[in-house]
Amino acid sequence: MWQCSSKMDSALKEETGASISPVLKKRKCLIKSIHLKQNTKAEPLLVSFSNGQVLDKANLKGTLYQNTSANKRQKRQRVFAVDTPKMRYAGKNFGVEAGTTSRESVFIGVLDKNTGKMELVETSTFLLHPVLEDIKSTNHHLQDSIHSLTFDEKQEQVATSFGTKKAKQYVNRRKQYQVNTEEMALAIDQAASAIDMKSEDLDQGAKEKDTYLSVLPECDREASHIEDVYKLEVIAPDNFLCYFEKPARHLLEGNDPDENCTLLFRELLASAKLEEEEENQLRLACVALYVEVLIKFLSLRDRDFAKDPLQECPTKIRSYIFHEYTQLNNKRRVRNREAEDRARVSTLILAFIANKYQLSVSTLLQSVPIERQKLDILMKVIGAHHLRDSNLYKLKLPLARLAKQYKGRSRK
């Protein structure tokens, strides 16, 4: 049973403009079903406008366009347009013009008060901007000044002229933080030429981008509680873990796990059974199952991807792992070093969360395909402390600092 707060209903009421009760009451309900977005079908849309709001009696006509490319990732790209008597508004869920919420999963909860069951429907969010047409003028000076503006510059002009006070303040802050890139590049070149660098001092990985932050999930190093540094609902939300609910319940009922499972999985499952609340037991058991799947994924080699591995894993989870941690190269699925490290870091963080933020060094080396030196580096990246007296890694505040900046090397 997954807990669902009525705050979700309140958020929906804010979107629809309905009245909101001043007192928020928590209630528990059963998630009956989850309807995810599909490329071939349209889903409910949550739409907002960048420079205005919809009137009560407005009769707007919207059209949803979908990319028909054969590429699966591009098929998810959609454009939503709304026509008004005087102007057209358009927004898309991809690219730099998409809002931050377009990259997050948003669900609408439909609660049946008679049965106490709720259906979750995944939606798409769009931030619509006015479509500004080119000025029709015979003055070529005026035409050049308009056509030379970028999309962001046009948006700044609209916000400055017609936007709210908050929008104008945002534009002013952006202008204050702008830096003359030519002067900055010249200063960097002068500083670099003033240093006599030897060839042996150059690191081979310096030519590649610094992956110190790219291997970490969302991290709040200034958090006052260890639970808020890496949040479980960000790395593996409930709508993601629910695919492991059936096997997790099977294990919590006293059935033995697979004899080939890792020692780490057995310890995480035992830790989940110690929880007092049934809901927490189920959630942590699902986390343990997800950790086990990631360990099996890390044990694979590039040539194994052609055999369509992880068949016992739920389809949605397998698709997410391949999409997140692999890439296609000449129609072959491969995994570079940075993606492999991101998968390792996610595995270690989830294991910390499921085991009260401490892990045995020997258990990790027996379970996760990783060398001790590499394990120490990734633990420093995560911020975990090594307790030499007990041979444990412990994630606690303040986080451990990385003495040397971590750099990953991609495979050729």
Nearest to 361 by CA among 343, 385, 396: 385
How many beta carbons lie within 10 A of that of residue 37, not counting itself? Answer: 15
Nearest to 34 by CA among 102, 116, 123: 123
- 3 state DSSP class of 136: coil
Pairwise CA distance, residues 261 & 273, whole Å: 17
- Residue found under tokens 């799947």: 293
Q: What are phi and psi for residue 342, nearest 5 degrees?
A: -65, -40
Phi/psi-derived region of residue 330, left when phi > 0, alpha when psi is between -120 and 50, beta in every other case: left
Instruction: Give 15-50 pLDDT, tens digit per residue.
Output: 444 444 455 567 778 888 888 888 777 888 888 888
- Residue 197 confidence (pLDDT) above 50: no
Pairwise CA distance, residues 325 & 312, whole Å: 18
- Residue found under tokens 């808020």: 228
- What Rg do the C-alpha atoms of the chain give, in angstroms? 26
Read off the pTM.
0.50
C-alpha distances (whole Å) from 44 to each of 56, 62, 118 are 20, 12, 17
Instruction: Give 130-181 pLDDT, tens digit per residue.
Output: 887 655 555 555 555 555 566 667 777 777 777 777 777 777 777 666 555 4
* 60-88 residues labelled b (16+ CB within 10 A) or e (exposed): eeeeeeeeeeeeeeeeebbebbbeeeeee
- Residue found under tokens 């008597």: 85
Q: What is the pLDDT of residue 65?
A: 85
Question: Please, which pLDDT band fits residue 212 given cuts at 50, 70 and 90?
Answer: low
Q: What is the pLDDT of residue 48?
A: 84
Mean pLDDT of 170-194: 60
| DSSP 8-state secondary structure symbol assigned to residue 389 | T
Pairwise CA distance, residues 354 & 381, whole Å: 19
